[in-house]
Amino acid sequence: MQTVSLLNSKGGCGKSTIATNLASYLANGGARVGLMDLDPQGSSTTWLKARPGMLPRIQQVDEENLQQLHQELDYLVVDFPSGIRGPKLARVLDQSNFCIIPVLPSPHDIRAVGAFLRDVLRSPAVGNGRCQLSVIANRVKLHTLVYQSLENFLSRLDIPFISTFRETQNYVRTAAHGLGVADMPRTQLSTDLDEWRKLVGWVKQESYSLEREAV
């Protein structure tokens, strides 16, 4: 089982949206997927309860059934709360195969994630390659100055900058019904699905490099 953790020290960056849509995309690809919601807000749990039964199954995972499901799942997506720092952060990274850090296009978020990334990069799990790290730009309006600032910041990091997810009501509409964008017809959401393909390709360790996507 591969564990994919959604982390950021700052709240409101869209971890739950990324977690639920990632779980949906992986499940639609035929993987056995679990979703674990450790955020007190419970957004991922609410989403999972609303998910229609005819869609590809996503298993709800908690601390009680985690060991039981460990051998039954291909991927476990974990939605962590904000504010994880210090030894607890190091333990989370040590138990993760992949860590995704969503960042919003605002000066405050850029400053906040800079300090958080310094803590993440000090982790032995990241240093020895056990936990692979990536950043994504979330809820962006393309061709704006604030997005250009975020893009420049993320591109300068020695961390893979995998995807950019635009600000769209598609996520609001699908979340209300327990859906991810991968559950919708491609003709309706082709732009969003193209960005998701990059992130999922990174998680699945497929040959989806930014250079290949540009070809």
Answer yes or no: is 108 within a domain: yes
Domain count across the chain: 1
Do the domain assignments include residue 186?
A: yes
Residue 215 located in a structural domain: no
| Residue 106: per-residue pLDDT | 81
User: Does the residue 68 lie in any domain?
Assistant: yes
pLDDT category, 169, cuts 50, 70, 90?
A: confident
In a domain, 169, yes or no: yes
- Name the pLDDT band for 214 (thresholds 50, 70, 90): very low
Q: For residue 212, is pLDDT > 70?
A: no
For position 195, what pLDDT does the model report? 84
Specify if 214 maps to a domain.
Answer: no
Model confidence at 132, pLDDT cuts 50, 70, 90, reads: very high
Residue 160 belongs to what domain range?
2-209
**16 lies in some domain:** yes
- Do the domain assignments include residue 80? yes
Tens of pLDDT, residues 114-125: 888 888 988 999
Q: What is the pLDDT of residues 12-63, one digit of tens each?
A: 888 999 999 999 999 999 999 999 999 999 999 999 999 999 999 999 999 8
Which pLDDT score is estimated for 21? 95
Which tens digit of pLDDT belongs to each residue from 63-87? 888 888 888 999 999 999 988 888 9
pLDDT for the residue 215: 27
Q: Can you give the pTM of this predicted structure? A: 0.89
Closest listed residue to residue 8, CA positions, set 131, 104, 145:
104
Here the CATH number for the domain that contains residue 13 is 3.40.50.300
